[in-house]
Every structure is written in structure tokens, then in C-alpha cells.
Copies of this chain bind each other. A is one copy, B any other.
Amino acid sequence: MNVGEVAALTGVTVRTLHHYDRIGLLSPSGRSASGYRQYSAADLDRLHQALVYRELGFSLEEVATLLDDPDVDPVEHLRRQHRLLLDRVARDQRMVAAVEKEMEARQMAIHLTPEERFEVFGDRDPAQYGEEVEARWGDTEAYAQSTRRTAAYGKDDWLRIKAEGDDLVRRMAEALRSGVAPDSADAMDLAEEHRQQITANFYDCPPEIHAALGRMYVEDERFTATYEAVAPGLAQWVSTAVQANAARSAG
């Protein structure tokens, strides 16, 4: 088979075959009298293996080393590829889970980023926005409640809520900077204030829910970033304070 046929069969371009030849990854086992590259079935087999490894993220040099290893037979390659593919599936599934978590996060913690909610008033219809989310993710009580309440909010309400939130975050950052321990009474008071803001503005947020939210601040990168952007260490501090406060309420 010549380059064009191989290209048609495998989906790679002719240029790619030239490239692989030049770098020694896949040199056709023969040439015609006029210099045309002639690929044998074994060449195609090697190409196939190479493409799988490439797809798996190896550099072409690494692929060449892998395929040229005389201690590894074809079946061993297949087994390795099998393993690597399963690894990747697992990784992707973790990413799927992360995206789902972030979608949930957006509903559980709308109050954390009022800016974004606020931007909605610029050039978008908030009702439509709510509808979209609801269609897919509006299946928790907290979110439903939050949607119902915030539906009535006007620009002034949002401004007030944002101001309240920003002020609280500022005071928390201040406490952190002055060395207030996150499990001290002062810190717990700030956490309690946080909980009441949520309950007042978004949805009923009993201490248990609040504690779960607190854990998200350190477990979910997105929340961590939100607080760390204000002050380094703040995410952990708030998380600890919120959970300490929940424990105090329970005890």
C-alpha cells in the first residue's frame, strides 16, 4: 500500500506519514522502484499501535521507544493500552463528577458570587436564566426555595445583599489577619452571621447544611479560589469557623 491508501484507511494525513518516516517512528518496509513508500500489513499494525499511544498522550519519541522495545511483544502493548485507556476513562469520570459538583455548587452558593448573578442585569433576562438552570438542576429543595425568593429581588436588593456579603467577608479576612483563631467564639459569631445571611436572603440554612457548605470551601477548588482571592488562608479559616459554629449550635 502507498501513502494515499494508508491515509484513507487509517485517517491520518499523508504529511503525517512523511513525518513519521522522517523521525523514524514508522518507516515503510519498502519502496517502489520510483521511490513510492510501500507499507506492509506489519507497518499498518505498527501504525495502529502508534496512533493509540499518541491518542493516549505520549510524545512521538516516547511512542517510538515503546514500540521499539524488544522486550515487549504485541500483546503486551495491547494490555498496556487497555490499562491506560481505563485509567483515562476513570479520570474523565472524575472530571464529569467535578463538573456536576460545580453545577450543584452554583445553586447551593449563589450568595457567594452575587457579582455573577448581578451581571445578569446587564444584558440578560434573569427569568430565562433561572428557567435554564431549573430545567436541569432545579431538583433540590434549597435551590427551588432560593429561586422563588430571589425571583422577587430587584436591583436594590441585590446591591444590598452584595454589600452585606462583602462586608462580612471583609470582617472575616480582618479577623484572620489579626490572628483570631477560627474556632474562637468571635470566629463562630462571624460564621453564624454568615449562616443567617443565607437563611435571610436565599434558603433555610440550618447548621448541618451550613457545615456541609463549610467543607466545600476547602474541598471544592472553585470556592477555595473565591476566598483565597480575598486573603490567603481565608478559605480554610472560614471553613473551620463554620464547622465549629455548627458544632456549637448542635452541642
Contacts and interface: CB of A to CB of B under 8 A. Distances in A.
B5 A75 contact: no
A132 B226 contact: no
Interface stretch (A93-101, A173-181, A183-191, A194-202): A93-101
Nearest to A85: B96
Interface string A1-33: 100010001100000000000000000000000
Interface in A221-251: 221-222, 224-226, 228-230, 232
Given A95-B52, A95-B85, A75 B132 contact: yes
Interface string A25-58: 0000000000000011110110010001001000
Given A89-B92, A228-B5, A75 B41 contact: no
Contact of A5 (B95, B120, B232): B232
**Copies of this chain per assembly:** 2
Nearest to A39: B229
A79 to B, nearest CB: 6
Greatest chain B CB density within 10 A among A75, A79, A88 is at A75
A48 B78 contact: no
B116 A99 contact: no
A129 B52 CA distance: 22
A226 B9 CA distance: 12
A115 interface: yes
A136 B79 contact: yes
B41 A226 contact: yes
Interface residues on chain A, size class:
35 or more
Nearest to A98: B52
A100 B133 CA distance: 40
22 contacts: A5-B228, A9-B221, A10-B221, A41-B225, A41-B226, A41-B229, A42-B115, A42-B116, A44-B222, A44-B225, A44-B229, A45-B225, A55-B95, A73-B124, A75-B129, A76-B132, A78-B102, A82-B96, A86-B96, A89-B89, A89-B92, A89-B93
In the A-B complex, list the 8 residue pairs whose CB atoms are closest, starting with the nearest: A44-B225, A41-B229, A41-B226, A85-B96, A89-B92, A82-B99, A78-B103, A75-B133
Given A44-B229, A45-B222, A45-B225, 16 more contacts: A1-B228, A41-B226, A42-B115, A42-B116, A44-B222, A44-B226, A48-B221, A73-B120, A73-B124, A73-B132, A75-B103, A75-B136, A78-B99, A82-B99, A85-B96, A89-B96
